[in-house]
Structure 1
């Protein structure tokens, strides 16, 4: 994304002071430095909570019925004229369809640019700690964690796409440099992610690759599932994510046609 493009060109910076009441269907905790995945049906939403503060939740997304269709970072940012994600933004697939929408956000900034750390980077920053000697305190990097989750669904390394880093902030300098902002997310920071198509989602709570802090101290994340709308329905015509910009309106139409 060009550094001269304002990060909030399409939408004003928005931060919810309160969250809508929801009826939980189930919930789980993704422990610090681990990984998790699920198939999330159309109309389901996840309330995602940074339990302790300082969390990073790397996430990748695929259409459940056809995983060749997957989250596209470039189209997501280009269509919405933004270099960060927050309430009102959506996640686009590489087919121009809306996969998921951020319907609530108490934090105001989530990173789509920084990528995910691999084994070499983590060994350089944190050293090594293997399961054979450290058990659950082993050091897990984000890339391998996501690949392990994708393998459960017949996907592999070649299927790994650019990810979103929820709860992390990376500022883009005038020279194009990416600067990690420490202390961005505090305990209780929350976003709601609503799924507009049946989606395979994989997550890792490993630290952000640009986080300068050592030692290795990942943080846990709570995930609460609830029903945002019926599976045979769709987001209403006046939904803020649908109406945020003309591109989003067209993206929702493309998605709705899958379920017509």
Structure 2
């Protein structure tokens, strides 16, 4: 259910932050909180992983998310499922119509091959940070490690399938000001990296910044309403929301 219209204005933002180009961020987003995520300059990639805050063994599951909703991309109306059949987050607004759940995240070897090596010791803030290490660094702040890094979502990025079955990066997909609203249905540990998408063919290391605007979508002791478009998008989503609501009942 793609949307090419901007989401409604946020009446009362709770906080506002920018993740600089090529850096990383993490935080706990409580149930009922939402983030408006904005591509400030165009061409951003935001790699993201999600864990349940109270029990990080429960986390976003790419395979269950896609097969439950019969999709190979994410957009407005889609829910992000955990490996326990619950909904950890949902996309309530989207100006792009496509976000990539398949392309994965680049590691140090890939980035050095593509962009060369620039260490912090020599280049300081102009160092090259890869997405995998960035996400692992953020997870480490909460006692997690590399083994907790599961398949991620790449917001603002799109991939297409070539004739030989290979995934191809679609350049120019996200313009400046492109955005989505991500609502959290569980207390969620989110880790983000603004490193480039691993399939981006651009040979220069040119990550982009992303803005986060937090607001309250519904009370923390409440739930998404019964007629919510993400809840009613398909029967599987309805069951996932019920499972989630029972956890907080």
TM range (shorter): over 0.9
Match of 2:235 in 1: 246
- Equivalent position to 2:45, from 37, 44, 56: 56
Match of 2:128 in 1: 139
Q: Determine if the alignment matches structure 1 residue 177 to structure 2 residue 154.
A: no
- Equivalent position to 1:129, from 95, 104, 118: 118
Match of 1:15 in 2: 3
Please provide the CA RMSD for this pair: 0.7
Unaligned runs of 5+ in 1: 1-11
Match of 2:208 in 1: 219
Report SS of the residue matched to 1:248. helix
Q: Check the 8 A contact 1:15/1:108 in 2, yes or no.
A: yes
Match of 1:8 in 2: none
Q: Matched residues in 2 for 1:16 and 1:230: separation?
A: 28
Report SS of the residue matched to 1:125. helix
Match of 1:36 in 2: 25
Q: Determine if the alignment matches structure 1 residue 167 to structure 2 residue 156.
A: yes
Shift of 1:162: 0.1
Q: Determine if the alignment matches structure 1 residue 198 to structure 2 residue 187.
A: yes
For residues 163-205 of structure 1, give each alpha carbon's deviation from its aligned partner in whole angstroms, at most 9, with x where no partner exists. 0000000112353210100111010000000000000000000
Q: Matched residues in 2 for 1:114 and 1:72: separation?
A: 14
Q: Check the 8 A contact 1:16/1:104 in 2, yes or no.
A: no
Shift of 1:115: 0.1
Query: In the comparison of the two structures, how many residue pairs are matched?
Result: 248
Report SS of the residue matched to 1:24. coil
- Equivalent position to 1:66, from 37, 55, 65: 55
Shift of 1:133: 1.4
Match of 1:77 in 2: 66
Unaligned runs of 5+ in 2: none
TM-score normalised over the length of structure 1: 0.94
List structure 1 runs of 4+ shifted beyond 3 angstroms: none
